Amino acid sequence: MTTQNARICRNCAAWPLLLILGCAVLSAFCGIVAAEEQEYTALWQYAASTNFKAADVSPDASFVAAGTHDGTITLFSIDGQALWNREIAGAVRGVAVSENGTLIVAGSDDGTISLFDANGTELWRRTIGKEAFDVSISADGSIIGGASDDGTIHLMDEHGEEVWTKRMQGSVNSIAISDDGSFIAASSEDFLAALYNAAGTRIWQVRTAAKVNDVGISPEGDYVALGAADRTVRLLDENGEEIWVRPVEGRVQGIAVARNADLIAVGADNAYAYLLDRKGTTVFSAFTEGNVNRVGLSPLGKYLAVPSDAGTLTVFASSAITEPLLPAAPEPAPSGQPTAPPATGSIYLESVPSGAQVMLDDEARGVTPLMLGNVTVGSHSLSLETDGFAGWRTEVMVEENRTIRLRATLEENPEPTQAAAGGFAVAGALCGLLFLSGLRRRKE
């Protein structure tokens, strides 16, 4: 074979490899394009005269709450109607809204946390430090959290009463509460992130390579996402183990997690908002002309609320996702009047020791410590069971929009003592001796 023929053959042999590589590159490009072209469109946009610093979508995907640098809190319907505006002292640093827009909480840089009802009436205001960096609220509004510049995490009930306070090593930058109030995630200035249960017990703590600006938690509390100043997003499981870490273009300033971590919303200081899927792949991005701050995401990911330093709040929606997933509506009453939903309250239960099985009206509901939300008003039976301890039972009267707090001390099951066992042994031995003595006498 001539040199020229050999060169041609080598070129021929290389063509399949080049073809494969070309297809791979084209496939990757097509994948990126497909990911960028998800069915998210701008549903509506609201313009303010100052920067939007935080936004949140209610757990039932019906309302959006947002706060601005000039201290204005606004509640919107999901279709973009501004329902009311209220002003607080100081720039808004964090905002959160409960289910059905019943309660709206805001934290400001004057160190206060304010709670509003569905009509915008301020219910209470509480100071937690020089600056309140972030806030969060459970779906039923019974648990409210605040992150303070003095390094403390504050957990309060709907009346503003302290449930517990925990200290981290540096200023607490962010806080996120699971829908049922069972898990509380927080991050601090000194590169730490932690997860606590409802009783304030720390479940895990991790140290990161950079400051975590925002922390997000899935509605069920089984995933935690960390958005850091080193332009990374980390997804952790319920044990604090890292599932993946992904770079983004820009320092992360806001993060939110959908159910099962199927979507993670990211706001960055490069004026972009991103949506990552469960594997960390970018499936949507949007440019806003200003730094994107604390973003809001509905539980299934249909709605993405993007607050920007450009003075805009933009809500994106996906036509491919149906949300909320509500039960079938009941048949209307014969009178034609709508049926009012049942009044509910909450029960927060602790036990010593913890980890006891909780039964509400003879139905297993979890283990202590436990927050039972959406319990119908009225009398309910409550019982605890755990190995090695006597059962505990009581009747509790649940009141509308109130949280009943109970702490049960379980008694250890009595066990036969060594002395008692020895006494039985001695008695048995004496009975045996008397029996043998009787036999001898009969023989004589």
State residue 187's pLDDT score. Answer: 96
Which pLDDT score is estimated for 19?
Answer: 43
End-to-end CA distance of the chain, in Å?
Answer: 124
Closest to 140 (Cα-Cα) out of 394, 425, 400, 325:
400
Interacting residues of 296 by C-beta distance below 8 A, sequence separation 6+: 55, 56, 57, 64, 65, 256, 265, 303, 304, 305, 307
Report the chain's C-alpha Rg in angstroms: 30
Rounded Cα distance between 93 and 84, Å, is: 19
CATH among 2.60.40.1120, 3.40.50.10210, 3.30.70.360, 3.30.565.60 for 344-409: 2.60.40.1120
Max CA-CA distance within the chain?
126
Residues of the chain with CATH 2.130.10.10: 30-318
Residue with tokens 């301890």: 389
**CA–CA gap between residue 105 and residue 115 (Å, rounded):** 4
| CATH 2.60.40.1120 domain residues, the chain | 344-409
Task: Answer yes or no: CATH 2.130.10.10 is held by domain 30-318.
Answer: yes
Per-residue pLDDT, 416: 53
**pLDDT at residue number 348:** 82
**Tokens at 369, concatenated:** 């410590």
Q: How far is CA 24 from CA 31, 32, 33, 73, 154, in A?
A: 10, 12, 14, 49, 51
**pLDDT under 50: residue ranges of the chain:** 1-37, 326-333, 335, 417-436, 439, 441-444
- Please confirm whether the linkage preceding 416 is cis (ω < 30° from 0): no
